[in-house]
Chains A and B, each alone.
Chain A
Amino acid sequence: MERPAWAPTGIDISVPSVSRIYDYYLGGSHNFEVDREAARKAMEFIPGLPKVMQANRAFMRRAVRFALDEGITQFLDIGSGIPTFGNVHEIAQSGAPEARVVYVDHDPVAVAHSKAVLEGNDLAGVVAADLRKPQDVLSSPEVTRLLDLDRPVALLLVAVLHFVEDSDDPRAAVAALRDALAPGSLLILTHAAYEGIPLSEDRAGGAVGVYRNIRNPLVMRTSEEIATFFDGFEMVAPGLVQMPMWRPESSPEQEDPYAFSGFAGVGRIA
């Protein structure tokens, strides 16, 4: 039997959380020893993981600015994790003070922390919901209060779809979100892949094993598979590319080799 929507999941901080592991990669201290232990194990296989995360953050920063340039001031960030230095609302609101941001995560600790961080910011809010249930996201009070779905929204699925297994039908979830958004809306997406990691697949697979062991499987997909998430979107130039290659602001040659692990792209609803 599936757990009813109104029955909460338990909180168990003895279990590593992907959002706190992510925070650790980024040099933060919003994490516990279990998280750091898992992160260190993963980094034994892929030492450059922090650089992958940094490239993710840098892409997101460029993409949010791109959205602002497009005139979009509404942001829906699903899988937002632990708020850290250079968050969507910081970037967006520094460019457009009226910008509205809704963060969504299914990790209750991340949500509680986001709430604390966003206290006093009337234009940003956080929703405890799961990407796999897009209707829960769309019908949440924060989305209703902060976003006008009749106008374009930038939907951020940054480093989150690779945590949704095919059996949970992530494409259907993306399609449901797409169908709820107005023309002109953007999908800002990054996804993990073996392509581009400067290591053998066997070696990188060790990190995947770490995530499997903490019951948060990491699903590596090929660029062709990742491209299908953009069904129904028009790709914004330069299309689906390795993260540093998406509209770089400084020469990609200077980037750390690990920054090329995984793909990024932006699509637009016609």
Chain B
Amino acid sequence: MSTPIRTDGQPVDPDGPESRLRRFATIWSRAIFPVTATSLTRPEFERHLLPLARRLIEALHRRHFDPAPAHEVGAALVGVHCTDPDALSRTLGVVDSYLVLYCGTGGDLRPEEARARCARLQHALAAGFAQALRERTLSEQEAIARSALSARSAAEEALHTTEARFRAVFEGAAVGIGIADLEGRVLEVNETLTRMFGGVEGQIRSRNVSEWVHPEDAPQVWKLYEELVRGERDHYRVEKPYYRGDGTVLWTNLTVSLLRDAEGRPQYQLALLEDTTERRLLNLRLRYEATHDALTGLPNRTLFFERLDKALAAGDGKRFGLCYLDLDGFKAVNDSLGHSAGDRLLVEVADRLQSCATGPGEMVARLGGDEFVALTTGTDTLREVDELASRILGVLSVPIRLEGRELTVRGSIGVVEGPADERGPAEVLRSADITMYRAKAAGGNRFERADPEADARAITRHGLTNALPAALERGEFFIEYQPLVHLGDGSVHGAEALVRWSHPQHGVLGPDRFIPLAEHTGLIVPLGRWVMEESVRQARFWQERHPGARAGAPLRVNVNLSPTQLHHPGLVADTVEMLERSGLEPGALCLEVTESALIGADDDLLKPLRQLADMGVDIALDDFGTGYSNLANLRRLPVSVLKLDRSFTQSMQQHPADPVDIKIVEGIVSLAHSLQLAVTVEGVETGAQAEQLRELGCDTAQGWYYARPGAPDRIHSLALTDAV
């Protein structure tokens, strides 16, 4: 670019040398642009050629001809990236055809001389182009080769660094790493792996991967291995044991990966092993502790339920048998000999039970306290479970030596047997529990078989017991009243309050169905209080509505008092409060207490009754004649009424009545009257009965002959009828 280019806009002589120069450059540019790879635009490219054209023309016209500038022009073409051989031939064509034609005139150059010079310029240009192209090609080749080399050495260096890093990772890893080929030949192992296997690398390297079998291998392990080496699986993870060189067992978490080459073909297998031996031992110990009873070493509740679940989930044709054992009188041993003796007893019992259940599918577990279970599974449990129960009773029958004395331990066993797949574990265990109680109730030291009917009864009992508290809250109880009739004149004297339960599912239940349950759970106290309060209120209501039903003797109410209520410290205070609140005089209330509740009663127990009696409350001795009927005791008791049990009156339903019964009743009445006690009879069902009892001197009576228990307003109407 030695010569300045005239810019457009400057006036140029259309046929002057400058204009001719430009036309030459345009033709040249048009000829070679298509064969260049330049990113320049056509005008840019043309402007690039302009100084080259000028040099050619100057060389053509030079006084002392020298073709050297053409050499440089040829080289310059290569410089602007005209490397295509066509660019040269087209250039030479343009120079040959147009250089002299456009730019040969002027000066003193003869035409022949111009042609000759033009030829020589072409020779020089071609040589310059060729030389520059050769140099450029060589230098570019050298440059790219050098670049490839330096890239390669940089990559190698990086690879070396990487490899060193990988090697450090491999050797320093906390997990064992091994690489093997697909035939199972071990190629490399790291130090950690060697250490895990006992420290001798040769022992690992010399064995094929497929030889590392262990009897406790999970069943799928070798199938996974085969799939991996066949290239069908890229990795798998298992828990796997190995034998170390010294025969001890190494447990590992093993992860095996398939390594493929760049084309994706399986090449190596990579194994990562984590030593889990200690963790596994710890887990086993924790598992053992979680599933065994610390005292006896027997399987505990957790393990038992796992086995029971499994037994109950077993398939067709499988059965199970369960013995639920509770020791008889164990509490007494604990109380008299102390807990440590009790514990030793349990351990001995556990050992003996263990010896009973050694067959396949049999197990013994301790559920807690002195409760044990024995389970048998299989297909023949119907027979086996009886034998098992007998064996258990047998081993218990041998006295146990403890603290220098011999103790005889007995047990009650509930046996449940049946097909798998029918009942859940909770149901089975409940049935066994209920049956065990039946065995205990039948005197203990025996086994009973579960019986669906007995179960159902017990389950109802169980259900009722659970439902009692809510029933009281929801007001499901109500009271019926059975009139007490004066035998002398047949007038209604009062009524006995009888509680009923209007159960949402079972309908109306009598007190015999739920009072024992309430008594057992203690609910009898609030229930009894409610009955008394309700009855007292009712009696007061009758009196208000019917003030003089019977002159001087208003309607009274009898309320039953259970043994637990009798012992309840709040009895006197509660009763007083209820009477006061309702305004009923104490004489209108009669509390009925069973004879059996007062047997052997000491003064402490009698004190509240005495207080109540002193206040004017009548106390009736209920069910008289069913217990020991300690007549001598009667004097001590603060009672004012005897209620004869219905068993005495039953024989009087026939006619003629049993004379012995008549004598007995006569005797009791006379005795009672001599002790200033009134006599009430229950269960009067016929007129003959009533007449007989009246003749025998009984004071009051109740029974279906007069009225069944009923709603309070019925008493009211009876009393009114009576008065008329």
Report the interface size class on chain A.
Answer: 35 or more
Contact residues in A for B218 (Cβ distance below 8 Å): none
With an 8 A cutoff between CB atoms, is B214 at the interface?
no
Q: A114 CB to closest chain B CB, in angstroms?
A: 8
Q: Is the CB of A8 within 8 A of B155?
A: yes
Residue A175 is within 8 A (CB to CB) of chain B in the complex:
no
Interfacial chain A residues near B43, Cβ < 8 Å = 249-250
Question: Which of B81, B141, B146, B148 neighbours the largest number of chain A CB atoms within 10 Å of its CB?
Answer: B148
Are B39's CB and A8's CB within 8 A?
Answer: no
Q: How far in angstroms is the closest Cβ of chain B from A85? A: 4
Whether B146 contacts A8 by the Cβ 8 Å rule is no
A39 CB to nearest chain B CB (Å): 13
> Assuming A8-B155, A10-B159, A112-B148, is B42 touching A254 (CB within 8 A)?
yes
Q: Tell me, in angstroms, the Cα distance from A21 to B10 when the chains sit together.
A: 45
B147/A109 in contact, CB under 8 A: yes
Interface residues of A in 144-189 (CB under 8 A from B): none
Verify B144–A109 contact, CB threshold 8 A: yes
**A112: contacting residue among B38, B141, B154, CB under 8 A:** B154
Residues of B within 8 A of A28 (CB): 83, 140
Contact A108/B144 with A8-B159, A27-B37, A58-B39 known, Cβ cut-off 8 Å: no
Contacts of A138 in B (CB 8 A): none
The count of A-to-B residue pairs whose CB atoms sit within 8 angstroms is 101
Complex-state Cα separation, A188 to B83, whole angstroms:
28
Specify which of A27, A30, A60, A108 is in contact with B151 (CB 8 Å cutoff).
A108
One digit per residue, 1 when the CB lies within 8 angstroms of any chain A CB and 0 when it does not, for chain B 74-89 equals 0000001101100000
Q: Map CB proximity to A onto B25-59 as digits: 1 under 8 Å, 0 otherwise.
A: 00000000010111111111000000000000000
CB neighbours (8 Å) of B279 from chain A are none
List A contacts of B148 (CB < 8 A): 11, 13, 32, 109, 112
For B81, list chain A residues within 8 Å (CB): 26-27, 85-86
A108 touches B154 (CB 8 A): yes
Q: Given A50-B37, A112-B151, A250-B43, A27–B144 Cβ distance below 8 Å?
A: no
Count chain B residues whose beta carbon lies closer than 8 angstroms to a beta carbon of A.
32
**Complex Cα gap A261–B559 (Å):** 112
B162 within 8 A of A: yes
**Chain B residue, CB-CB nearest to A1:** B257
User: B137 contacts the other chain (Cβ, under 8 Å)?
Assistant: yes
With A29-B140, A30-B140 as given contacts, are A111 and B151 in contact (CB-CB < 8 Å)? yes
- Tell me if B287 is interfacial: C-beta within 8 Å of chain A: no
B407 at the interface (CB under 8 A from A): no
- Cβ-based interface call for B397 (8 A): no
Q: Bound complex: CA of A108 vs CA of B147, how far in Å?
A: 9
* Contact A109 B38, CB 8 Å, known A20-B144, A30-B144, A85-B81: no
Contact A27 B83 (CB under 8 A): yes
Shortest C-beta distance, A43 to chain B (Å), equals: 13
Besides the contacts A29-B140, A30-B147, what 16 more A-B pairs have beta carbons closer than 8 Å?
A: A8-B162, A29-B137, A30-B143, A31-B144, A54-B37, A85-B38, A85-B39, A85-B81, A109-B147, A110-B147, A112-B151, A116-B150, A249-B41, A249-B43, A250-B43, A254-B42
Show the binding face of B for A, using Cβ within 8 Å. Answer: 34, 36-44, 80-81, 83-84, 136-137, 140-141, 143-144, 146-148, 150-152, 154-155, 158-159, 162, 165
A-B contacts, 10 of them at CB < 8 A, read A6-B162, A9-B155, A10-B155, A27-B37, A29-B83, A32-B144, A57-B39, A86-B81, A116-B146, A249-B41
